[in-house]
Amino acid sequence: MDDHFGESVAATYDETSAEMFAPDVVGPAVDLLAELACGGRALELGIGTGRIALPLARRGVPVHGIDLSAAMVARLRAKPGGDAIGVTIGDFAATRVPGTFALAYLVFNTINNLTEQDAQVECFRNAAAHLEPGGCFVVEVGVPDLRRLPPGQTTVPFRVGATSWAYDRYDCATQAMSSNYVTVEDGRGEFRSIPFRYVWPSELDLMARIAGMELVGRWSTWTRAPFTHESEEHVSVWRKPAP
């Protein structure tokens, strides 16, 4: 797994993702995660700068994180309470940490950072290996936006401004995609591309079954709005069965 969230990205990550830090976005996610943790420990795969981990810890849930990017974790450490959260640097599809957890979770499309199906399968196995019997694994991820692609088109723009543009590119044969960003400042252009692998809800369910977990809930929002044909994302919960 390559680190695409180095210093150049980490330095402005919170600002460029500011809408995801809004209380009305973070609050419902923390509410549901705290409920599922039920007083136990939580493991965040891809903890980043602590957008979810910090408020979850303030709710009394002990959180440990795994993240490949030391630069992102440094931003977490610099925030109030960040030094109290344990973090292991490594690939969250394979890295093991001591102990077991009542909850493991992946948010904000982070499962797509694993660009091979095998790595996504291993991520589910890794999450299950960390869970206590009866523990839950939660994934928040978008539904692939392929309905916006007419025949012959591979690109979907999602941000257009006077000095910045952003677009996703899809390969429907391999499920490879990338998010691409173009910015122009003082007459100079900069281009950045981050690779992903999009994944379908049914595919995630099969990965969970391979890892010995079962689906117990799927909604289109953290507030449990129904998941429908028109849903653009989903929050899914799988449980590791008790003996």
CA dihedral angle for residue 81, residue 87, residue 93, residue 99, rounded to 10 degrees? -100
Which tokens belong to 98? 């001591």
Which region, left, alpha or beta, applies to residue 163 given φ > 0 means left and ψ of -120 to 50 means alpha? Answer: alpha
What architecture is the 7-143+199-239 domain classified under in CATH? 3-Layer(aba) Sandwich (3.40)
CB–CB of 30/53 below 8 Å?
no
243 residues of the chain, pLDDT tens digit each = 666 677 778 888 788 788 889 999 999 999 999 999 999 999 999 999 999 999 999 999 999 999 999 999 999 999 999 999 999 999 999 999 999 999 999 999 999 999 999 999 999 999 999 999 999 999 999 999 898 899 999 999 988 998 999 999 999 999 999 999 999 988 899 999 999 999 999 999 999 999 999 999 999 999 999 999 999 999 999 999 998
CB–CB of 121/127 below 8 Å?
no
Where exactly are the structural domains of the chain?
7-143+199-239, 146-194
How far apart (Å, rounded) are the C-alpha atoms in residues 236 and 73?
26
So what's the pLDDT on residue 243?
82
pTM of the predicted protein model:
0.93
Backbone angles phi, psi at 46, to 5 degrees: 80, 60
Strand order in the sheet with 188-197: 155-160, 164-171, 176-185, 188-197
So what's the pLDDT on residue 22?
95
So what's the pLDDT on residue 2?
67
- Give pLDDT tens digits for 65-77: 999 999 999 999 9
Long-range CB contact pairs, 52-57, < 8 A, 24+: 52/26, 52/105, 52/107, 53/85, 54/79, 54/80, 54/81, 54/82, 54/85, 55/26, 55/27, 55/30, 56/30, 57/81, 57/84, 57/85
Query: What mean pLDDT is reported for the chain?
Result: 95
